[in-house]
Structure 1
Amino acid sequence: MNYVIRSIRADEWPAAKELRLAALQDPVAHLAFLETYEEAAARPDSFWQERAAGACEGADKAQTIIAEGPDGRWVGTVTVLLEEPGTTDWAGFPVERKQGHVVGVFVRPEERGSGLTEVLFDAALEWAWGRGAERARLIVHEDNGRASRFYRKVGFVPSGLVVPLEAKPDEKELEFVFERP
């Protein structure tokens, strides 16, 4: 592979914005992300600047890791958020131990199947383990078979936790977990 895998820098928010908007145009974006392209595109630059600064190299609560192709174009991303015991997660569930929450997984279609997503996951988990996370978790829509198959392939397993979607009460998301080796 000829990719550079690294954390983003705060000043790279325009590239982070472009890649996120590309992700939200993916055919399964409605299953994979909790926002729409239209919602994200309408956000001001200050939102993207704050988002990049909060998950850039050196940040201690979140990290966005990208894959940069030989031409400098960003071709994949994953973000991991640290969740502390004694808090509640975004869905209101209690966090019982320190964990990395993997979100925002996207690899451009032309790069899929190359092993890049596995490399991004390795980097994300390494970052979380380095900050004391005991496990990693992610949430996947019950109908997102492509993502579920990949997560199982890299060692994540369903925990049994079901996350209802307030905006879509007839749909649900499932938690997958990976225990620290």
Structure 2
Amino acid sequence: MEHVIRAVRADEWPLVKELRLAALQDPAAPIAFVETYARSAAQPDEFWRDRALGASEAGNGEVRQFVAVGPGGRWDGSVTVLIERPDAEVRFGEAVDVHQAHVVAVFVRSEARGGGLAEALFRAGTDWAWSLGEPRIERVRLYVHEDNARAAALYRRVGFVATGHSVPVPGDPSARELEYAVGRPAV
């Protein structure tokens, strides 16, 4: 693989914005993301600066965005990991009684798919979560729309298992988001 997988830097907000807007134009975007292209494209630069800072190593340590940087410097994919603590507000889904990480905003450009890039991004994100100190992260979870078979296949390929839990899709209570998770690996 010719890509470098790394965490975003706070000053890279224009690239964070460009990749997110590309993701929101993907044909799967309506069932893959809660945000819309129109709403995100209308956000001021300050929104994107804050987003990049919060997901960088300079942020608060509770969010990290990993990107796949190609040989020409183009970002071809991304995954963001949020830390969820039992005593904190749940951003999406249901609360649990363990310290966990939550994978969101998974995207690989169509022309970069099929070469292991998504798997490498997941590895970086989960390795980061497992590396955090006390309290230890006990599991990593994500949600996938019940109609997003391509994404569900990827999540199973990287070791995630359906938990049997689901929540209504925001804005469409007739559809469900299915929870997948992977437990902390034995040392």
TM-score under structure 1 normalisation?
0.97
> Counterpart of 2:120?
119
Q: Is the 8 A contact 1:88 1:95 kept in 2?
A: no
Deviations 1:35-92 (A, max 9, x none): 1100100011111100111010243101000000000010010000000123342246
2:181 to 172, 177, 181: 177
Contact 1:141 1:172 in 2 (8 A): yes
1:172 corresponds to which letter in structure 2?
Answer: R
1:145 aligned residue:
149
- Cα displacement (A) at 1:94: 1.9
Residue number in structure 2 paired with 1:61: 62
SS at match of 1:48: helix
Out of 162-171 and 118-127, give the one that drifted further: 162-171
Contact 1:165 1:172 (8 Å CA) reproduced: yes
1:8 corresponds to 2:4: no
Distance in 2 of aligned mates of 1:27 and 1:165: 18
Distance 1:92 1:41, change over 3 A: same
How far the C-alpha of 1:124 sits from its partner, in A, is 0.2
State how far apart, in whole Å, the 2-side matches of 1:98 and 1:37 are.
32
Give the total of aligned pairs. 181
Question: Aligned ranges for residues 24-43 of structure 1 at < 5 Å?
Answer: 24-43=24-43
SS in 1 for 2:26: coil
Unaligned runs of 5+ in 2: none
**Native 8 Å contact 1:14 1:48 kept in 2:** yes
Provide the C-alpha distance between the structure 2 equivalents of 1:120 and 1:166, rounded to a whole number of angstroms.
Answer: 26
Q: Does the CA-based 8 Å contact 2:145-2:169 persist in structure 1? A: no
2 CA distance for matches of 1:8 and 1:69?
A: 14
What is the CA-CA distance between 1:161 and the residue it aligns to? 1.0
8 Å Cα contact 2:10/2:58 also seen in 1: no
- CA drift at 1:115: 0.4
The alignment's C-alpha RMSD in Å is 1.1
**2: CA distance, partners of 1:115 / 1:81:** 22
Aligned to 2:86: 85
> In structure 2, do the counterparts of structure 1 residues 68 and 134 end up closer, same or farther at CA, with 3 Å as the change threshold?
same
Structure-2-length-normalised TM-score: 0.94
